[in-house]
């Protein structure tokens, strides 16, 4: 096919098409955004283009394999170019996608907050579920320090099930290391 030189005479950015006026005269040729190089540049009226012409099933001419003369596109840039026929400015999720994303994040946050809130209320009230190995005889009652505990099992129950305990200074999960040897 023969490459033709022309300039972009009209462009409708909202609809993604326009018309090229061939340099050597003749009718304007339809061009769709999908025929233009995907180099991140928006088509501009008056821009010089090289193109080939194809005729569609209805006999209308359309520009294909459009190039911007003098512009070298690196292979790395070609590999990154979007696969969509939409212009880079028009790609994206759209309003519906953002609303759906926002609703999903909001609902997830609501569920997570409900779980955290219920667990905190249980811990504050001393009705938190007892973790495995902990005695059912112990109950969260506001005690926080090793000196208030009567056994290592009780101290372990408190750090695993009760809020604001101050019995595991090195945060290794073992309460009252110095005192437990004395119990």
Q: Is residue 105 part of a domain?
A: yes
CATH number at residue 43: 2.40.50.140
CA distance 106 to 98: 12
The reply to whether 67 falls in a domain is yes
Range of 101's domain? 96-122
Q: Kindly state whether residues 105 and 138 are assigned to the same domain.
A: no
Boundary-marking domain end, from 50, 80, 110: 80
Asked if 101 and 141 count as a contact pair (C-beta separation under 8 A), the reply is no
Beta bridge partners of 50: 5, 67
Same-domain check for residues 130 and 115: no
Say if residue 133 is in the same domain as residue 114.
no
In a domain, 47, yes or no: yes
- What are the structure tokens assigned to 29, written together? 């040729």
| Number of compact structural domains in the chain | 3
Question: Which of 3-12, 155-164, 171-180 is the least confident region?
Answer: 171-180
pTM over 0.75: no
Residue range 126-175, pLDDT digits in tens: 555 555 454 567 888 888 888 888 888 888 888 888 888 888 878 887 88
- Please, which residues have CB within 8 angstroms of residue 113's CB and are 6 or more apart in sequence? none
Residue 99, pLDDT score: 86
């Amino acid at each position: 096919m023969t490459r033709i030189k022309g300039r972009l005479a009209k462009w409708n950015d909202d609809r993604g098409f326009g018309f090229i006026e061939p340099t050597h005269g003749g009718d304007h040729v339809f061009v769709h955004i999908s025929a233009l190089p995907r180099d991140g540049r928006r088509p501009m009226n008056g821009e010089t283009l090289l193109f080939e012409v194809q005729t569609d099933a209805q006999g209308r001419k359309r520009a294909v394999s459009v190039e911007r003369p003098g512009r070298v596109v690196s292979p790395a840039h070609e590999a990154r170019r979007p696969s969509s026929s939409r212009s880079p400015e028009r790609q994206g999720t759209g309003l519906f996608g953002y609303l759906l994303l926002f609703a999903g994040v909001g609902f997830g946050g609501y569920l997570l907050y409900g779980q955290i809130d219920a667990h905190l209320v249980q811990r504050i009230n001393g009705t938190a579920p007892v973790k495995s190995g902990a005695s059912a005889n112990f109950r969260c009652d506001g005690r926080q320090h090793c000196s208030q505990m009567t056994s290592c099992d009780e101290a372990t129950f408190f750090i695993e099930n009760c809020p604001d305990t101050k019995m595991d200074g090195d945060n290794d999960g073992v309460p009252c290391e110095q005192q437990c040897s004395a119990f």
